Structure 1
Amino acid sequence: MSKKHHQKAIKSLTQRITEHQEKIRLESENSFLDEGLIKHWEKEIRAFDKAMQQARKRLGQ
């Protein structure tokens, strides 16, 4: 894959992490927390972070 592809993936994953962090913040403000949903988003954030690390590794960063 090209350098441009990896850079685009990193940008996209960063955006997805930000979106999920916002979802967690909003859910945390609710009086009835859906902890299963929060755990799901946290798991996805970890997966996105791992994918970003792999893309950075391929870019040599």
Structure 2
Amino acid sequence: MGKKNHKKAIRSLNKRIAEHQEKIRIESEKHSPDAGLIKHWETEISAFEKGIQQALKRLGK
């Protein structure tokens, strides 16, 4: 993957993290939040963050 693709991947993953954080916020405000769903989104956020770190490493940052 080229430099441009790594930067695009980072932008995309950051967007997905923001989307998942918003889902967690909305679910947490419910009267009876689904803890399993929140845990799932948190796990995905962690995976997205790892992807960002790998892309940054490949970019030499």
Q: Confirm or deny a common fold (TM above 0.5).
A: yes
Q: Indicate the residue corresponding to 1:18 in structure 2.
A: 18
Question: Tell me, which stretches of 5 or more residues in structure 1 are unaligned?
Answer: none
Q: Indicate the residue corresponding to 1:36 in structure 2.
A: 36
Count of equivalent residues: 61
Structure 1 residue 24 displacement after superposition:
0.2
CA distance in 2, matches of 1:33, 1:19: 17
TM-score by length of 1: 0.99
Q: Indicate the residue corresponding to 2:6 in structure 1.
A: 6
TM-score by length of 2: 0.99
The RMSD of aligned alpha carbons is 0.3
Question: Tell me, which stretches of 5 or more residues in structure 2 are unaligned?
Answer: none
Query: Which runs of at least 4 in structure 1 moved beyond 6 Å after TM superposition?
Result: none
